[in-house]
Amino acid sequence: MDNLELMTPYNDIVLPTAWDIEEKSPFINIDSSGLKVDYTGSDDYEAAIVQANNPIPSQCAIFYFEIKIINKEKNGMIGVGYCTKQCDKKKGDSVYINKMLMPGQGNESWGCGYHGDDGYSFCSGSGEPYGSKYTTGDIIGCYINFTSKLVFYTKNGINLGIACYLHTDSKGILYPCIGFKSHGRSIEANFGNEKFKYSAMNNEDICNKFENSLEWEYQKNVCFYENMLVNLTNELTQSLEKEQSNVFELSYRGKIFFIIAKYKESLKDFSRVLEIEPDNTIALRYRGEINYLMINQLMT
């Protein structure tokens, strides 16, 4: 397979690109880039949530974004996740539905969040131990898969395992969101405007090893369209029928299967790569992560 055409028919789709500067808590300051957020509330017991400027479009099968913690302060609370719309305009005023709640703690609407002060994952009000705490300098990633209906988070490029599952059809109504408690909290978002810390959402691991691979060209990696990924895996499958030991194509298909959470298929491809190249670092890395996720999935 000489060329991998990663074109998308969805160039006019509106994606989350920044934080919403209009419908936000009065305790939230957003800089001119729309990406950096400071929490200025003086009451350590009052929470504020800011959501992205647009919901994740229904055409997205997978969505991913990252947050860098610029300033967490001592004992400060930050929650990263997804939520339904947090405010409605009524006569020019914003009514904040979850004013006193962090992401994932509300029962009225679906939401999820990974909280830095205790490492808990919350989903629609219920919380449980999930990952380690996070603080200033850490980068937290949020992955959501509408097909497999799962959510996981990453910390500094490491997958922390499945956090929860979607329990409703949430396509087109979920927003990336951040929650704060305590004065002085500060974060900066990456909605695909920069390279992600979590390399599975980039293409550099494949590109650095194989000269004939292309960069992901669609929407800067932030949104993965199901039809396009299915078509690409079908093309790779047809090509592999002719050349079953093509390490590049096995790796590429294995990574796409990984991205769309078809872990058994991905494991099969990367295991085949290791039969051909036992020291292939890409295959070793993905196989280890897949085994972890599959065990985690059975336990969730």
CA distance linking residue 145 with residue 205, whole number of Å: 22
Asked which of 184-188, 267-271, 276-280 is least confident by mean pLDDT, the reply is: 184-188
Q: For the chain, give every domain's residue range.
A: 19-200, 219-299
The CATH class given to the 19-200 domain equals mainly beta
- Average pLDDT (76-101) is 63
pLDDT in tens, 97-140: 445 578 888 765 678 999 998 999 998 878 899 999 998 999 99
Superfamily of domain 219-299: Tetratricopeptide repeat domain (1.25.40.10)
> Which has the higher per-residue pLDDT, 284 or 14?
284
CA distance linking residue 291 with residue 296, whole number of Å: 8
First to last CA, the chain: 38
DSSP state of 57: P
Parallel, antiparallel or unpaired: strands 36-39 and 175-181? unpaired
In this model, does residue 167 exceed pLDDT 90?
no
pLDDT at 231: 85
Angle at 286 between CA 228 and CA 245, to 5 degrees: 75
Helix (H/G/I), strand (E/B), else coil: 272 = helix
pLDDT in tens, 135-160: 899 999 999 999 889 999 999 999 99
